[in-house]
Structure 1
Amino acid sequence: MKVKICGITRQKDAGICDILGVEYIGLNFWQHSKRYIDIEKAKSITASLKRSKPIGIFVEKDLEYIKTIIGQCSLSGIQIYAGESSVFCNEVKKQFPRYMIIQAFRIKDCLPGNLADFNADYFLFDALSDSYMGGTGTTFNWDTLKLLKPYSYKTFIAGGINAENIEQLLSIINPFAVDIASGVEISPGIKDVEKIKLLLSKIKRISNEKSS
């Protein structure tokens, strides 16, 4: 199982993730986010990475904005929050076919019924919030994830995940990846290296126990 540390805003934190072997880091280009990163900082961070793959997070349905960002930053993937219509997601995949496309859904108690309509490489399921797009620090009803098993191989799970509850989550589903922001932070956008290490250690232990 892979790990994505989302809401990276500092070169230092990106470097730590890279050294520790975190597979993906998330850079939030939504200007209303507490973890927003500007293009210049993102450009510097993406150029420095050796192992971690940078994923750009976008909320507005604006292809030109996405083009501007990926034209300056060396992104590996595009994560979009575009509601439950597949139209924008499929257009993004058409426009940027060589990028990993992650369609994010904000859910509470039920899953979208039209997942097959989305031409996305991966799905991400996050907690629903009236105010924020990700990074809320709250979980959703994980029992709904039992219905996701046919898609688990292409699923990221986000929303309030931390070292204390990761074992509970992985007892329900074995996703492609987990996505953590607030669960490894001191404050929004400022990561805690010890929390990252503890989370990675727990995931490794759980994975080893499952494979033994």
Structure 2
Amino acid sequence: MIVKFCGLKRLVDVEMCNKLQPDMIGLIFAQSPRRVEKDIAKDMILAKSPSIKSVGVFKDQNISEVIEIATQLQLDFVQLHGREDCEYIKHLKNLGFRVIKAIEVKGQEDIKIAKRYVEIADFVLLDRPKDSSLDITKVAKLADFDYIIAGGITPENIDKYLNLNPVGIDVSSGIETEGYKDFAKMKKIIDMVNKYKVGEIENG
């Protein structure tokens, strides 16, 4: 199972990840309180463990800007959180970029929309709408395809997300204290996923 820690802003965040070894770290280049500048992002990517994949997060940005940033920083993945369509994704794929397409889901219709991207993107990510308290696990149960899940994951409630058997989890605010990444919370997420993986093996 993929573990992605998103919204890293500082070199110390990367240092914590190097100790914990999530599979991916997300750096946000869209408008967000967690947005990072390119020069800081470059230092963060250079500082990360080679085993951790870098993901640049974008939303409704000009494709040339996405290509420029992804190329300059040698991002492992481009994550798209807006209204980017199949042609947009295909263009990035044709240039050799790996793509995670995020879809905000409220119900079954959004799940159907997300399914359209399964064959085009490398991963589909199901997220809850911004500023929503929706329990996304109830909606994600409707999906009949592999997905990464995000939206409201914390060390306290991660079990119900893991029980959906997603291909990955994506956590941002749930590993923060007062707006900053919290090592203890990050470690608890990693420990819980590892515990779940052992359970998977034991259950065959």
> Fold conserved (TM > 0.5)?
yes
In structure 2, the CA distance between the partners of 1:162 and 1:137, relative to structure 1 (3 Å rule), is farther
* 1:141 maps to 2:140: no
C-alpha change, 1:148 and 1:120, in structure 2 (3 Å) is same
Aligned to 1:56: 56
Cα displacement (A) at 1:113: 1.8
**SS of structure 1 residue aligned to 2:112:** coil
Superposition map of 1:171-186 within 5 A: 171=163, 173-186=164-177
Give distance in 2, aligned partners of 1:86 and 1:15.
36
Q: In the alignment, what sits opposite 1:33?
A: 32
Matching residue of 2:23? 23
Task: Please report how far the alpha carbon of residue 137 of structure 1 lies from its aligned counterpart in structure 2 after TM superposition.
Answer: 8.0
Consecutive unaligned residues of structure 2, counting only runs of 5 or more, are: none
Q: What corresponds to 2:100 in structure 1?
A: 102
Shift of 1:19: 2.0
> Which SS does the other structure have where 2:143 is aligned?
helix
Mean CA deviation greater in 198-207 or 114-123: 114-123
Question: What is the SS of the residue equivalent to 2:75?
Answer: coil
RMSD: 1.9
Residue 179 (structure 1) shift: 0.1
- Higher mean Cα deviation, 63-72 or 106-115? 106-115
Residue matched to 1:133: none
1:2-41: CA deviation from partner (whole Å, max 9, x where unpaired): 20000000011112112211110000001x2010000000
TM-superposed CA distance for 1:140, in Å, is: 3.6
Count of residue pairs brought into register by the alignment? 198
Return closer, same or farther for 1:137/1:52 CA change in 2, 3 Å cut-off: farther
1:162-198 Cα distance to aligned partner (Å, 9 max, x none): 1111111222x2111100000000133x200000011
Query: Given that residues 4 and 171 in structure 2 are in contact (C-alpha distance below 8 angstroms), is that contact kept between their aligned partners in structure 1?
Result: yes
Structure 1: state its 5+ residue gaps. Answer: 130-135
Alignment of structure 1 residues 1-212 onto 2, 5 Å = 1-30=1-30, 32-50=31-49, 51-83=51-83, 85-94=85-94, 96-97=95-96, 99-110=97-108, 111-114=110-113, 115-117=115-117, 119-129=120-130, 138-149=133-144, 151-152=145-146, 155-171=147-163, 173-188=164-179, 190-212=180-202
User: How far apart, CA to CA, are the structure 2 residues paired with 1:21 and 1:156?
Assistant: 18
Amino acid at match of 2:185: K
The alignment partner of 1:105 has SS state of: strand
How many Å separate the matches in 2 of 1:196 and 1:53? 17
Specify the SS of the correspondent of 1:147: coil
SS in 1 for 2:174: helix
Query: 1-side partners of 2:143 and 2:84: how far apart?
Result: 16
Contact kept in structure 1, 2:111 and 2:143, CA below 8 Å: no
Contact 1:108 1:140 in 2 (8 A): no
The superposition leaves residues 89-129 of structure 1 with CA deviations (integer Å, 9 ceiling, x where unpaired) of: 222222x32x3200010112233424235510100111112
Give the 3 Å change call, closer, same or farther, for CA 85–112 of structure 1 in structure 2.
farther
CA displacement 1:124-169 (0-9 Å, x = unmatched): 111112xxxxxx58454322222324x22xx210001011111112
Contact residue 137 and residue 160 of structure 1 kept, 8 A: no
Instruction: Judge conservation of contact 1:43–1:74 (CA < 8 Å) in 2.
Output: no
